[in-house]
Structure 1
């Protein structure tokens, strides 16, 4: 399909397809979270299922439970069947779940549909992040992985827009059924895209399909199989995978805990779960209705309008962060975002305390502005880093399994948010924001002292940060321009 196109066009098309796969997956996940935030404020939904505080929490957390069930096995499936096939299967599962939840006749059926969606999400999150990190050129990898969760805002925007439009159908049940059915739309696009995607070159090489792996490396780097940069990456991957096969003979779960470098890899990869799920963004995603009500905005139509604008705002800021990730570096991006988030959440709490009664119009506007600033701060760094940093710090042997464990922890944190925060809001009110902002300070300290910087390196070169030695005698990619003689010598040896 791409063989007759110029090299730059082949690279652009391939990169666009790879990014589109992760974008559609991100839209699917984000749509789920945002649609529940919108549906939770619909009178027809509340009356149909007789929603209470408890059932609201259970309905919202059902996808997290399904994702956790799948994530324990997702790493094995992704390593065994391949990254591309796993993405395809996850889309089929999501479509089935959307049909069941949209046609639900009772609360049990609605929860079952959402749990099935969660199973698809658990597989997709493990497969997609692994796939994109391994199937993009090193110079594009940060942007591609950053776009994964940057396009979360697109899913939120679609969910908010569809839900807002369907809210006009009240008191008909279609007000909440149509948004639920639309959860299957983005996965349908995956089914169309996957046949045109290349498989991960690292997965191909690990399964002794060397020629196919080399061809994919050339394709994603807009080069030929004889280009020095292509041969350098090819040699790095072969040497590193041979080392892992020789030194890491145990099962993946055992390999993770086998030595100190692997434990550090896992710790850093898993750190993104609480960093992204417990810093406050999910409180807004799932319970923005409660937050705005506390701030004095009680109209469900006004709440959905605000949610629509918030989604567009988040998308613009998150894309900006993705574009700057390679220049600023992962640590700086995270620290800037986390520091601003902490300050903004304190501000949200303080303004809600002062003006939560809705008596001051300027106070209400100030509270909404603080929420906007918080989400902008979060979207700038934490959103693109969500699926950028974990697959980068994990070596090939650990990547799929580690991403599965990351999904488990992320969804467990999501369950904590959806099950605990409704009751915290009910009993503590504005103090909830103060508590949340305070534990963000601990996250900031952890990132400052423990995170390693991965910008400007191939996945194999990042191993040096943990193992202290490179497992290939190929020069670093940065040496291509600085020392062409070394590259030519390496190519002759290959």
Structure 2
């Protein structure tokens, strides 16, 4: 216990020294050749993780305005025959019973009602929302399955290999999704995609936090989160360009292009150094020190800042390796960790329950409720919203230097509450009066809402527990 207290004191002293030396260092990043090269390499190697997630989140929005995807054209026969073809997948599971049958019923039970549902225009089909929700749930199931594995892989094989594993899984999922010949194959592909994304995000978030220059860490982590919208822009643009095709390639092309960020990661990750903290934890301190010297001191092995950083890493890792035997239990062992875990759970849950799901997955349906039913208009609004979100998200990332992190959270949640209340009121007004001004207000409120939503992603955990909490947060 005395060793733990002394190590904590040493770590705090090292952190204070790092902060003091950072205040004395005024050289901008773009005047540091090695650091500049590192950052330009990180963009394709790491930011693609959230881009893949954003592409995946946006593609379902776009596909809801794609005719062949809506009508499930896996056969040229009539509507009811197409539904029956989708349901015949059940016979391929050798007459499932018990828990397996129950799980399949939970996923596919809504589709049995299609057999007695009269054919209507695709936008009026009552099962469309359930179809999208089921496919979104399947992706989430994959993410939940990865939750207990990601931290161990991340800390066992390193941040870079975690990104590589996740990217490879995503490529497999994209191939399955693009080649889907029936609903079952598409849903399995969604599960595989959900399995790969947490490996990428878990490894990338820690690699950024542990490899970047200390002064830039918060900003780059914010940019990492907001790169989600860069992927969403690409997905929205691609679906806008292909949705008018009359064949299945109107949705297969957007699906196929989803693998591009992962292919970039698999190519460029080998040019990025490993996390110094992970190297120290694996008794590879010399390599860690060399990386810090090269990228944080431009080759100056006598740099006081690098020595202070290295000492802080050693003190922290030594204490954590000494006392961290049961990793997940650590999340609840101390009052501080319990508080951080509670915050991570709340932020993860609240960020998904704050109303963003309405637009993230059901934008076409939301727009239809206020009279905007033209498919091209819906695609254009989807693309415009993704561009707007990227602009506001990047701006929010730089606000970490202006506002405290808790202040940003409060600004975000208070803003979302106010805007969502106005949004709900305008929607109710349109439903009662068909007032076009109310419909315009709904569209405007969607954009303002996301301006508030993009403010709220700073880290709250200790370095050692980031792997667990980032996985936990992502899967909430």
TM-score (norm 2): 0.79
Query: 1:21, 1:190 within 8 Å by CA — same for their partners in 2?
Result: yes
Q: Of the candidates 54, 66, 71, which is equivalent to residue 47 of structure 1? A: 71
Would the alpha carbon gap of residues 362 and 265 (structure 1) be closer, same or farther in structure 2, given more than 3 Å must change? Answer: closer
Query: Following the alignment from structure 1 to structure 2, what is the Cα–Cα distance between the partners of residues 263 and 7?
Result: 42
Query: Following the alignment from structure 1 to structure 2, what is the Cα–Cα distance between the partners of residues 113 and 406?
Result: 23
Query: Following the alignment from structure 2 to structure 1, what is the Cα–Cα distance between the partners of residues 209 and 351?
Result: 19
Q: How does 1:58-457 map to 2 (within 5 A)?
A: 58-170=134-246, 172-223=247-298, 224-248=300-324, 250-356=325-431, 359-379=434-454, 381-382=455-456, 385=457, 388-390=458-460, 393-396=461-464, 398-409=465-476
Q: Which residue of 1 aligns with 2:45?
A: 21
Query: Following the alignment from structure 1 to structure 2, what is the Cα–Cα distance between the partners of residues 213 and 117?
Result: 33
Query: Following the alignment from structure 1 to structure 2, what is the Cα–Cα distance between the partners of residues 136 and 34?
Result: 29
Would the alpha carbon gap of residues 309 and 7 (structure 1) be closer, same or farther in structure 2, given more than 3 Å must change? Answer: closer
Structure 1: unaligned runs, 5 residues or longer: 410-494
Q: Which residue of 2 aligns with 1:56?
A: 132
Moved more, 362-371 or 153-162: 362-371
Give how far 1:327 is off. 2.3
Partner deviation per Cα, 1:378-431 (whole Å, 9 max, x = no partner): 12x02xx1xx314xx2331x222222222332xxxxxxxxxxxxxxxxxxxxxx
- Which is greater in Rg? 2
Query: Following the alignment from structure 2 to structure 1, what is the Cα–Cα distance between the partners of residues 382 and 259?
Result: 21
Q: Of the candidates 28, 50, 54, which is equivalent to residue 30 of structure 1? A: 54
Give how far 1:373 is off. 0.8
Query: 2:30, 2:36 within 8 Å by CA — same for their partners in 1?
Result: no
Would the alpha carbon gap of residues 176 and 272 (structure 1) be closer, same or farther in structure 2, given more than 3 Å must change? Answer: same
TM-score (norm 1): 0.77
Partner deviation per Cα, 1:38-71 (whole Å, 9 max, x = no partner): 1123221121165644322111222111111112
Note if 1:10 corresponds to 2:34.
yes
Q: Which residue of 2 aligns with 1:455?
A: none
Helix, strand or coil for the counterpart of 2:56?
helix
Query: 2:415, 2:449 within 8 Å by CA — same for their partners in 1?
Result: yes
Q: Which residue of 1 aligns with 2:8?
A: none
Give how far 1:243 is off. 1.4
Moved more, 292-301 or 355-364: 355-364
Would the alpha carbon gap of residues 178 and 358 (structure 1) be closer, same or farther in structure 2, given more than 3 Å must change? Answer: farther
Query: 2:297, 2:303 within 8 Å by CA — same for their partners in 1?
Result: no
Query: Following the alignment from structure 2 to structure 1, what is the Cα–Cα distance between the partners of residues 376 and 432?
Result: 19
Give how far 1:127 is off. 1.4
Partner deviation per Cα, 1:132-180 (whole Å, 9 max, x = no partner): 111111100011100112111111111111011111103x111111111
Query: 1:11, 1:221 within 8 Å by CA — same for their partners in 2?
Result: yes
Q: Which residue of 2 aligns with 1:421?
A: none
Query: Following the alignment from structure 1 to structure 2, what is the Cα–Cα distance between the partners of residues 7 and 260?
Result: 43
Query: 2:50, 2:227 within 8 Å by CA — same for their partners in 1?
Result: yes
Query: Following the alignment from structure 2 to structure 1, what is the Cα–Cα distance between the partners of residues 31 and 232?
Result: 35
Structure 2: unaligned runs, 5 residues or longer: 1-28, 74-82, 84-126
Partner deviation per Cα, 1:343-368 (whole Å, 9 max, x = no partner): 11111100010013683322221211
Partner deviation per Cα, 1:81-127 (whole Å, 9 max, x = no partner): 00001101111111111111011000000011111111111211221
Partner deviation per Cα, 1:411-470 (whole Å, 9 max, x = no partner): xxxxxxxxxxxxxxxxxxxxxxxxxxxxxxxxxxxxxxxxxxxxxxxxxxxxxxxxxxxx
Query: Following the alignment from structure 2 to structure 1, what is the Cα–Cα distance between the partners of residues 287 and 30?
Result: 20
Query: 2:44, 2:264 within 8 Å by CA — same for their partners in 1?
Result: no
